[in-house]
Structures are given as C-alpha cells and as structure tokens.
Chain A
C-alpha cells in the first residue's frame, strides 16, 4: 500500500507501521478500540501477504514456508554474565609477560623417532614407555623410581585440582561462575535470584537420617553409623492399650468401648427380637391342647405352665371363634410391631416333650398340619 509502509519481520511474524498517526484524543473507548482493530487488521494482512508470497513446499499437512531469520533484536532475558576474574596463573603470566602459544597436536618423540600425538593414546612422553631409569647418587637403595614418578605425577594432579577449585571460588565470590558449574552446584543460588543458601540444622539432619534409614529392609537397625551419629529414636511401645485399672475398676474409656461394641451387636441381631415362628408354634400348641381337652383326653401340659392357664382356656372356649380371631390378631400385631415386648410367660417356658410318635393318630395329623402352617411362616 502506497500510503503506509510496513516494516515486516517475517522471522518473528511481525509488522511495524512506521508512519503511524494516532489522533491523540478519542471521544470514547469503543472508538479507540475500533481504530486500533482497523490498524491492526491492515498490519496482519501485510504479514499474511508476505507469507504467501514466499515459495512454499508441499508437505502432508499442507504448504510449508521456511521463515527467514528475525531482524528485530529482542531484549535479553537474563543479565549479562560478569567477566571472570583472572586465575592465579593468568595473574602470574601477566606479571612475567608470558604469552600463550598454541601447541601442535603432533610432537616428535625422541625415543621412537616418530611423530606421536601430544595427548591421549600412544602419546609423546608417556610414563609407561620409559624402560630404564638410571640411578642417581642421591637415590636410596630400596626405593622404586617408577613408583616415585607415579607419586609425583599424582601430587602434581592434585595440586592442579586444588588450584582450579580456588580459582572457581574466587570467581564465585564475584558472582562470575561459569554456567555449567553454577547449574551443577545445587547448593548455590541461580544467578539473578535472591535466594540465600540455607544450612540444614543438626536435629533436622538427624531426624531426616532416621526417617531415611527406615526405608531399608531391616528398618535401619543394622546400618553402619557414622562417628557421632546417634541411633534413631522410637517409642518403646508399639501398640497402645486402654489402662488396666482406671479409678476403681472399669474406666470411662473402657465403658465406652464395651457399650459401643454391645450396641453394634444388639442392633445387628435386633430383627429377631420377636420370633414369628415361635409365636405361631405357640398358637398351634395351644390349639392342639384345646382339641385334646375337647376330646376328653388328659391334657399333658408342660409342668412349667402355671395352672391358671386352664381357666383362661375355658373362658376362651366359650367365645372360641372370637378368641381365635383375637389370637390371630395378637400374632399379627406382634409381628408388625416388633417393639412390643414378648409375653414372658410364653417365651420363657416354651418347650415340649418329644415323645414316641404314632404317626397314624389325630395328634400326629395336627402336628403335620402345624408343620405346614409353620412352613408358610418361615422366612
């Protein structure tokens, strides 16, 4: 568009309007928003135009365009790294005026007369390749010169390592640790954050060590202890019981517990507070005895039933049908209202003699009928 030139940065998918003019005052927020959207759409259109003008390759998902490198520079996320302070050797070299020279990879080996590499496998001045060491006057007899050489090399390596660490400490003091060391040292805070490294206290460490030791197979009992480490603490008791005697005898806690258990038990079994079978059986037995009395046979009552029962029976005989109905109602009533307490006279002494059966008699017939009646009530 001739009017406005847009600077388009395809690498970041951005477009700038260099000559943007915005009227400073707007009557309302909606108008401002509308204007902004209008300008924005123009810019987006320009980006899209530029994108589609690029040569595209056909892929499975559609045409793909390779974006050029971004031209706008984005600001840094993290601050610039601080320059590293010079190491001890660097300071010494500066003072003395020693320059660094690059070393070649290959060096001439005097012994074999060939060019060998400087470092690594089959290198120039390897300790292994020395066959003979001549003895000097200062050597003691009994010392191994090869071992001496090895020891010296080891000490040199250690000294170097020590120096390296000291240099790193110097750099860390300033805050210029190299980033890979910074990340590896988890105790140090990441550059840029304010967090101070916190020291773990002695008791905390002890507790944590105790907890960690319980993760072993034997619960930490046989772990080798460091010098000064105390054995992990635990309570002597592993199970807690109610006190044997509280106050005088049973305590409140124990009472509570027994009550709870008892109530659970009773509520579980409360549905057979009234045994309907028993009630029906009682009714049948009574009926049998009535029939027997009617037939004139001597009533073989259970000895446990009191005598006044017979009086009741005679009265019932008079209004027998009504009595039967009443009894039936009684049974039904008790069946559906289980909270009514069972009649003690019936239940406590309900038992009957098992006598020799004579299957042909009327009594046996009645009993069989009773059984059938009972079957109906079984649940």
Chain B
C-alpha cells in the first residue's frame, strides 16, 4: 500500500473530475468519513495497492499498515485500477461515490434498463431523462427511473445533439454497470 504519485494523482483526479466536476474538492479534501471505529475517523484518502486505487478513511489506513503487503487484499472502497500502461480506469465499485456527487445524469426507461445491465450502450430510445449541458466525452452516471444508480459511462453526444438524433443513436457509451458484479465476479 502506498499513497499515489503526483502523476498518478493527476490521472485519478482527471477521471473523477469528468464525472463529478467541482465537487471533486469535497470528495478529496473535506468529506468526513464514517468508516472505522475511531471517534474521529478523519477524512478520506487514496491509496494504491497492486495497481488498484482505494478510497479509504484515514483511520482504516492506519490499521491496514499492520497487514503484510502481500496479504492485503482490499481496504475501503475500490474506485479504479491502473492498467499495465499506466492508464487509469474507473471500476464499478466506485459507483456510490460517483452517484452521490455526479454532475451529469441519465435516467433510463424501464424497457432499456436490462439492456444496459447486460453491458450494452444506451440508445436514445431508452433515455427517459437527461441533464442539460452535457458535452461530448463527459462522464455520465446512469440511473433507473426510480433513481437507483445502475452504472456509468461516457457521453457520446451533447444534450442538444441528443434531441435531434434518431431513436437508435448511441447516447452513452458503457463503462461500468452493476451487472458486472454477476458477470465479472472474478475480474473485479
């Protein structure tokens, strides 16, 4: 376990910023944590263990140092992984963190929920609601009509273009969905 390098921090923050915008400040610096048995658990920080990035509270970090590096599997919430060529990808376990402070949201109709959960992209015909001023390549969190976060992805079109599109056009490219907990149990 080690804290992130400066380059790694920039990569992680860039990715998070796409989804969360200026709420990043709150997530990184000011979020009081609710984990850990201490009286003041302190804030959250990011730690790297075997190419996975975890969002852990400080009290847990202190305790995790008691575990051998090889034996430590996971701590806190995993938000993403670094690939072999040092690129950062967000994983589905970070969904709660993103959903709590997402800037751009898309709500899916009940008919197309299952399609998204199987890993397909979001077509315009499946979109129930969409927030304003989404630009291309923005991070988007996908919800069901009951405001249950289903996953996240990258916007393929801006909101205005979205309006003018035909119903079979792609709106959101799929990045991660909660169906992955069943499909890719081994790889998480």
Contacts and interface: CB of A to CB of B under 8 A. Distances in A.
Interface of A: 241-245, 248-250, 254, 257-262, 264-266, 269, 273, 275, 277-278, 281, 350-354, 371, 374
Contacts of A273: 22
Nearest to A374: B160
Contacts of B28: 258, 262
B42 A250 contact: yes
16 contacts: A241-B5, A248-B42, A248-B58, A248-B59, A249-B42, A250-B42, A258-B28, A261-B13, A262-B13, A264-B10, A265-B14, A266-B25, A277-B133, A278-B132, A278-B133, A354-B130
Contacts of B130: 351, 354
A265 B17 contact: yes
Given A241-B2, A249-B62, A266-B25, 5 more contacts: A243-B3, A254-B3, A258-B46, A262-B24, A265-B14
Contact of A351 (B2, B13, B132, B163): B132
B45 A249 contact: yes
A244 B127 CA distance: 44
Interface string B117-137: 000000000011111110000
B51 interface: no
A264 B45 CA distance: 18
A262 to B, nearest CB: 6
Residue picked from A245, A259, A275, most chain B C-beta under 10 Å: A245
Nearest to B12: A261
Contacts of B65: 244-245
A259 B29 contact: yes
A259 B13 CA distance: 11
Of all A-B residue pairs in the complex, the 10 with the closest CB atoms, nearest first, are A249-B58, A278-B133, A261-B9, A242-B3, A250-B45, A241-B2, A350-B132, A249-B42, A275-B133, A254-B3
Given A257-B9, A275-B133, A281-B132, A244 B3 contact: yes
Interface in B128-164: 128-133, 160, 162-163
A242 B160 CA distance: 45
A171 B67 CA distance: 74
B95 interface: no
Interface in B1-53: 1-3, 5-6, 9-10, 13-14, 17, 21-22, 24-25, 28-29, 42-43, 45-47
